[in-house]
Amino acid sequence: MNLIAAVDKNWAIGLKNRLLVSIPEDMKFFRTETGGKVVVMGRKTLETFPNGLPLKNRTNIVLTANPDYDGKGALVLHSVEAVLEELKKYPSEDVYIIGGAAVYRQFLPYCRVAHVTKIDYAYEADTYFPNLDERAEWSVEAVSGEKTYYDLEFEFVKYVNSAVKEI
């Protein structure tokens, strides 16, 4: 299983249910990585997409405690256990955890690979991703090298988890 996230220099990922910044090359990377695959997200993440609709060309799974939630075409499940059971139907390498913060935290132990866009800037934020640099089980496997978007510097970092929990 994979996860994909963009973080600032403090591992922040959002403010008021919005991404901190939209970098076209990062968005393209996200589309390329997750296209045709399975994406797992929380309700708030789905609601940030255009018209609150699931992402096209992907199997969308939404985790929410609300039993009456309408995922508008996404598969809606109500527990981590139910999502893990559903994910057994797919090749692990085709599954991407895409947020938000609570969903990242809940599924992090099950992910083998983390694709993290690290942005060299500290934004005002209220939502954070776990700092993988401080976790012994996570190590950097690849770094893209520095990229820029206007005056913003960022890089794509691939982390690998040496202590993956099996589902």
Q: All domains of the chain, ordered by start, with CATH?
A: 2-161 (3.40.430.10)
Helix (H) or strand (E) holding 62, with range, is: strand 59-63
Contact status, residue 30 vs residue 51, Cβ threshold 8 Å: no
- Residue 71: cis peptide before it, omega within 30 degrees of 0: no
Q: Are 119 and 152 in contact (CB under 8 A)?
A: yes
- Distance CA(19)–CA(8), nearest Å, equals 11
Summarised one tens digit per residue, pLDDT across range 111-160 is 999 999 999 999 999 999 999 999 999 999 999 999 999 999 999 999 99
Bridge partners, 42 (sequence order): 63
pLDDT digits (tens, 9 = 90+) for 25-68: 999 999 999 999 999 999 999 999 999 999 999 999 999 999 99
